[in-house]
Chain A
């Protein structure tokens, strides 16, 4: 009995600990996600965690101009609502900055100049003047209001169309798609030869590939930039596709070779005995069977190229038609440092696709990680 008690207490502790860990890990992203849907003023005046519940804030609004007051029996009346849009709940109001919360909703405040002001809980105000008023500056109303959580898509609209993220998204796509597909094909053929064809120096080549896996990319920048300039490619898409192909190849060959080497040898041998050429074996047997490994690598390469900043900074130009999303965001961090509505929405435009890929294809990603690091060391 005591054993069972200890066990369930332990299970509770584990559940709590995992819950805490998960919260700790998702709160940062969640905070920025919430912020990306809040409007600029809301972000800069209150923390994102207040956005999820009704928030109380003090606002100052100006009532309609006295010129617009209508006669109503013996008095002139001005009506309106303190909330420009949507709804809210007034919890207190005032007519001077010294006492901004002097009156409860529904109470009547009398101004020194003689007019009377009432603000109802729903935000409707009514000002009655004993004589015809004049002037175009409205009465200032200090309102403490509770407003329901409000969210907007304006930030996304702004970053996509005004801040260049739309164009940058297109540029990122342009870089990513060829840079993901081309290395797969080149690597698959090489992986097959390294896994299943007799050749001298095979072990050496495999060792070289493993070594190249960790070579810092920085090594390649200066020589390749010079090379690209010399052969006339310069900075541009062709150059970055080639670069990403080169940088992705070691992992591609390594993952695919490991996977192909694990395929059952009997199938390949019997196909050879039947007179199938290597090209036919590769195309009809190896390629279809290697689908999981191909998918793993494709996801890796996609995420890596999509998320890359450094290679794009080095191999692409700085013009509007070549800046990728990560580069654009870094620019915005510099130029719009404090404008969190812009930064948050931009970040999520760039994060959305990888996250979607991650959650839908996580299986392959995990498999690739395991093959890539556990086996290979």
Chain B
């Protein structure tokens, strides 16, 4: 009943778990040694890099915003600030008054991250809407393309759609005054 052929197959089958565990073990070892040498950092959010073009993405034309995408950012002639926010995010709520003053100095574009349209609309109705253009990222996919680690996150986009600056924390008045605005000023084309 057990021919040599089936015995071999059986032996190979039983060795599969070992082979799988071995492969995973080697991968873990590579990760660990990479972490020690600094070449591998799983906590590093390295997309998208500074001074690189914005990633490919698009947000739908859906109320409360009209949506925008890569092409709109690539076509920029003046710098703008792109802010990821969400109605469920309390730091975003706290950041809103600052954004309302910032919009006087530089155009603000917003993306509502993992948010329902009606929630985002209610949020902006309640706290004021600082955004001149608004996109919705309901499933968080755009956030993945941009590599955001949470909300709020803010990017300064230069002319031609190049990422010039990035902050993963809520904006403070001093950050805006000392870093964001001076940097934006240098990017302005006459």
Chains A and B come from one and the same complex: no
The residues of A with any CB-CB pair to B shorter than 8 Å are none
